[in-house]
């Protein structure tokens, strides 16, 4: 669990350390606000998606690809504690007609993004969870994101997007399924 009281104390100190006055009007409630916000944006840290994801059987379902496009996400870069955010496309091939609810896909995305992350690792973690954790026949995850640590500091490459992807199972090994996936995208 997130220790909100401790975060409040540390944010107060952080404000002092950067040369601010934590007691001035505008900053008075900032430590509490940040602690509350961290609870929300880091809610995935202590979550295991396995605990709440269930698949449901749809007898008519064959091994057609299910693609969920343009899922928005927000995450935090673990190197700079700054946001990176964008969209991802998630595709999977159900096994034996077992579908994952669409809202569950969003929950999986949130679970892995609301943590301190690296885009490459997050891509792989989501793909691995959908493939190994939920036993699907194939998975593809494509992520396109803007990193504030690249655009507001350092090299300041504004508008720069980082793309990552991970392919698993049939969506990696079966040329026909791969072709289907790319025509859907
Ligand atoms: Zn960074």
* Residue % of the chain over a pLDDT of 90: 79
Q: What is the pLDDT of residue 68?
A: 96
Please give the distance, rounded to the nearest whole angstrom, from the Cα atom of residue 151 to the centre of ligand 1.
10
Active site residue 87: no
Give the active site residue among 77, 117, 125, 180.
Answer: 77
Residue from 27, 32, 29 nearest 16 by CA: 27
Task: Give the CATH fold of the 4-41 domain.
Answer: GTP Cyclohydrolase I; Chain A, domain 1 (1.10.286)
Stretch 26-31: mean pLDDT, rounded?
A: 98
Give the active site residue among 61, 80, 87, 144.
Answer: 80
Q: What is the pLDDT of residues 57-105, one digit of tens each?
A: 888 878 899 999 999 999 999 999 999 999 999 999 999 889 998 899 9
* DSSP letters spanning the chain: ---HHHHHHHHHHHHHHTT--TTSGGGTTHHHHHHHHHHHHTTTTT--GGGT--EEE-TT--S--EEEEEEEEEEEETTTS-EEEEEEEEEEE-BTTEEE-HHHHHHHHHHHHSSEE-HHHHHHHHHHIIIIITT-SEEEEEEEEEEHHHHSSTT--TT--EEEEEEEEHHHH-HHHHHHHHHH-
Domain ranges in the chain are: 4-41, 48-184
Task: Give the CATH fold of the 48-184 domain.
Answer: GTP Cyclohydrolase I, domain 2 (3.30.1130)
Please give the distance, rounded to the nearest whole angstrom, from the Cα atom of residue 79 to the centre of ligand 1.
5
Residues 104/107/113/115 CA torsion (nearest 10 deg): -130
- Between residues 167 and 97, the one the model is more confident about: 167
Please give the distance, rounded to the nearest whole angstrom, from the Cα atom of residue 46 to the centre of ligand 1.
22
| pLDDT-based confidence at residue 3 (cuts at 50, 70, 90) | very high
Stretch 43-51: mean pLDDT, rounded?
A: 91
């Amino acid at each position: 669990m997130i220790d909100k009281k401790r975060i409040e104390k540390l944010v107060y100190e952080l404000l002092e350390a950067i040369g601010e006055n934590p007691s001035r009007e505008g900053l008075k409630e900032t430590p509490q606000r940040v602690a509350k916000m961290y609870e929300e944006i880091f809610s995935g840290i202590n979550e295991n998606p396995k605990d709440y994801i269930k698949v449901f059987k749809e007898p008519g379902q064959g091994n057609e690809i299910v693609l969920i496009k343009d899922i928005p996400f927000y995450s935090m870069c673990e190197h700079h504690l700054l946001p990176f955010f964008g969209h991802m496309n998630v595709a999977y091939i159900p096994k034996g007609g077992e579908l994952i609810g669409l809202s569950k896909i969003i929950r999986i995305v949130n679970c892995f993004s609301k943590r301190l992350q690296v885009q490459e690792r997050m891509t792989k973690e989501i793909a691995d969870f959908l493939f190994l954790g939920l036993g699907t026949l194939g998975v593809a995850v494509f992520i396109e994101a803007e990193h504030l640590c690249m655009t507001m500091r350092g090299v300041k490459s504004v508008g720069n997007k980082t793309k990552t992807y991970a392919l698993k199972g049939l969506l990696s090994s079966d040329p026909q399924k791969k072709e289907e996936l790319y025509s859907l995208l």
